[in-house]
A and B are shown apart, each in its own frame.
Chain A
Amino acid sequence: MADVTQDRSNYIRLFFAAIPLIIVLRLLFLQVFGVGGYKDSALGQAVYIKKIYPPRGVIYDRNGKVMMNNSIVYDLVVEPKKVRNNFDTLLLCKLMNVTTEDFRLTFKRMVTKYGWQQRNLTLYRNLSPISVARLQENIFEFDGVDLIEHTERNYVHGCGGSIFGYINEINEKQMKSERFANYQKGDYIGVTGLENTYEEVLRGTPGVKYLLRDVKQRIQGPYKNGTLDSLPKPGKSLQLYLDGDLQKLTETMMANKLGSAVAIDPQTGGILAFASGPSFDPTLLTGANKGRNLSRLLDSATKPLFNRPIQAMYPPGSTFKPLTALVALDEGVIGPHYGYPCGGGYYACGRRIGCTHSGGGHAANLGLAIANSCNAYFCHIFRLAIDAPKYDNVHIGLQRWYQYMSDFGLGHPVGVDIPSENGGHIPDSNYFNRVYNGNWNSCNMSILGMGQGEVLLTPLQMANAMCIIANKGSYYIPHFVKSIDGDSNTAQLQKYRQKHVVAHIADSAFEYVIAGMQAVVDMGTGKIARMDGIEVCGKTGTAQNERMIQGKRVKLQNHSMFVAFAPRRNPRIAVAVCIENSGYGATWAGPIASLMIEQYLKDSISEKRKPLVKRMQDAKIIPNYTFILDSLEKQQARERERVKNMSKDSLLILTRKKDSLRRLDDSLMAHYYYNKFYLHKRQN
Chain B
Amino acid sequence: MSYKPKTLTERIDWIMVILFMVISLIGIACIYSIEHRETDIGFFLSGKSYMKQLIWFGISLTAAFVILLTDSKFFTSIPFLAYLIGVLFLLLALTPLGVGVKGSHSWLNLGFFTFQPGELMKLFTALSIAKFLSLQEVNFNTMKHRLICASFALFPAIIILLQNETGLALVYFSFFIAMYREGLPNIVLVIGFSMMALTVATLLIPKNMLFLILSSLALIFLYITRRKLRRNKSIIVLIAGVWLFGVAFSQLIVPFAFTKVLKGYQVQRIYTMLGQEMPDEYVREGVDKKKQNASEYNVSQSKIAIASGGVIGKGFGNGTQTQFDWVPEQTTDFIFCTVGEQFGFFGSALLILLYVSFLMRMIHIAERQRSSFSRIYAYGVAGILFFHLVINIGMTVGLAPVIGIPLPLLSYGGTSFLTFSIMIFILIRLDMDRQMVLR
Interface residues of A (CB under 8 A from B): 1, 4-5, 8-9, 12-13, 16-17, 19-20, 22-24, 26-28, 30-32, 34, 36, 38-43, 45-47, 212-216, 220-221, 223-224
Q: Mark B342-383, 1 if CB is under 8 A from A, else 0.
A: 001100110010011001100100110000000000010010
Q: Which of B305-313, B409-417, B420-428 contacts A (4 or more CB under 8 A)?
A: B305-313
Chain A hits for B344, CB < 8 A: 31
Q: Which of B149-157, B177-185, B241-249 contacts A (4 or more CB under 8 A)?
A: B177-185
Q: Which residue of A lies closest to B309 (CB)?
A: A31
Report whether A23 and B310 are in contact in the complex, using a CB–CB cutoff of 8 Å.
Answer: no
Provide the bound-state CA to CA distance between A71 and B399, in Å.
56
Distance to closest chain A CB from B314 (angstroms): 9
Q: Which residue of A lies closest to B397 (CB)?
A: A26
| Other-chain contact of A214, B310, B326, B394 (Cβ < 8 Å) | B326
Distance to closest chain A CB from B422 (angstroms): 22
Q: Could you tell me how many residues of chain B have their Cβ less than 8 Å away from some Cβ of chain A?
A: 46
Report whether A23 and B177 are in contact in the complex, using a CB–CB cutoff of 8 Å.
Answer: no
Provide the bound-state CA to CA distance between A221 and B317, in Å.
14
Report whether A39 and B310 are in contact in the complex, using a CB–CB cutoff of 8 Å.
Answer: yes
Report whether A31 and B326 are in contact in the complex, using a CB–CB cutoff of 8 Å.
Answer: no
Chain B hits for A23, CB < 8 A: 352, 390, 393-394, 397, 399
Interface residues of B (CB under 8 A from A): 38, 177, 180-183, 300, 303-311, 318, 320-321, 323-326, 340, 344-345, 348-349, 352, 355-356, 359-360, 363, 366-367, 379, 382, 386, 389-390, 393-394, 397-399
Distance to closest chain A CB from B313 (angstroms): 9
Chain A hits for B348, CB < 8 A: 24, 27, 31
| Other-chain contact of B397, A27, A43, A45, A221 (Cβ < 8 Å) | A27
Chain B hits for A223, CB < 8 A: 320
Which 10 A-B pairs give the minimum distances between C-beta atoms? Answer: A42-B308, A214-B324, A38-B307, A46-B320, A39-B307, A31-B345, A215-B325, A30-B307, A41-B304, A38-B303
- Given A41-B304, A46-B321; A24-B352 close (CB under 8 Å): yes
Report whether A30 and B306 are in contact in the complex, using a CB–CB cutoff of 8 Å.
Answer: yes
- Given A16-B363, A38-B308, A214-B324; A221-B180 close (CB under 8 Å): no
Report whether B324 and A220 are in contact in the complex, using a CB–CB cutoff of 8 Å.
Answer: yes
Total inter-chain residue pairs, C-beta < 8 Å: 122
| Other-chain contact of B311, A16, A32, A36 (Cβ < 8 Å) | A32
Q: List 9 A-B contacts (CB under 8 A).
A: A12-B363, A23-B352, A31-B309, A31-B310, A38-B306, A41-B307, A214-B325, A215-B326, A224-B318
- Given A30-B307, A38-B308, A221-B38; A16-B367 close (CB under 8 Å): no
Chain A hits for B360, CB < 8 A: 13, 16-17
Provide the bound-state CA to CA distance between A44 and B306, in Å.
15
Report whether B304 and A38 are in contact in the complex, using a CB–CB cutoff of 8 Å.
Answer: yes
Apart from A20-B393, A31-B348: 13 A-B pairs, beta carbons within 8 A: A9-B363, A17-B356, A17-B360, A19-B386, A23-B352, A24-B349, A28-B345, A30-B307, A31-B307, A31-B311, A38-B300, A38-B304, A41-B308
Provide the bound-state CA to CA distance between A221 and B323, in Å.
12
| Other-chain contact of A30, B181, B379, B397 (Cβ < 8 Å) | B397
Report whether B363 and A213 are in contact in the complex, using a CB–CB cutoff of 8 Å.
Answer: no
Provide the bound-state CA to CA distance between A45 and B341, in Å.
14
Q: Which residue of A lies closest to B313 (CB)?
A: A31
Chain A hits for B340, CB < 8 A: 27, 31
Report whether A36 and B303 are in contact in the complex, using a CB–CB cutoff of 8 Å.
Answer: yes
Chain B hits for A34, CB < 8 A: 307
Chain B hits for A42, CB < 8 A: 304-305, 307-308, 320-321, 326
Chain A hits for B318, CB < 8 A: 224
Q: Which residue of A lies closest to B341 (CB)?
A: A42
Q: Which residue of A lies closest to B389 (CB)?
A: A20
| Other-chain contact of A4, B183, B303, B320, B325 (Cβ < 8 Å) | B183
Provide the bound-state CA to CA distance between A215 and B305, in Å.
13
Report whether A5 and B307 are in contact in the complex, using a CB–CB cutoff of 8 Å.
Answer: no
- Given A5-B181, A31-B340, A46-B320; A26-B363 close (CB under 8 Å): no
| Other-chain contact of B326, A16, A45, A221 (Cβ < 8 Å) | A45
Q: Which one of A13, A27, A41 has the greatest number of beta carbons of chain B within 10 Å?
A: A27
| Other-chain contact of B367, A9, A27, A28, A36 (Cβ < 8 Å) | A9
Chain A hits for B393, CB < 8 A: 20, 23
Chain B hits for A27, CB < 8 A: 306, 340, 345, 348-349, 397
Report whether B324 and A215 are in contact in the complex, using a CB–CB cutoff of 8 Å.
Answer: yes
Provide the bound-state CA to CA distance between A54 and B324, in Å.
30
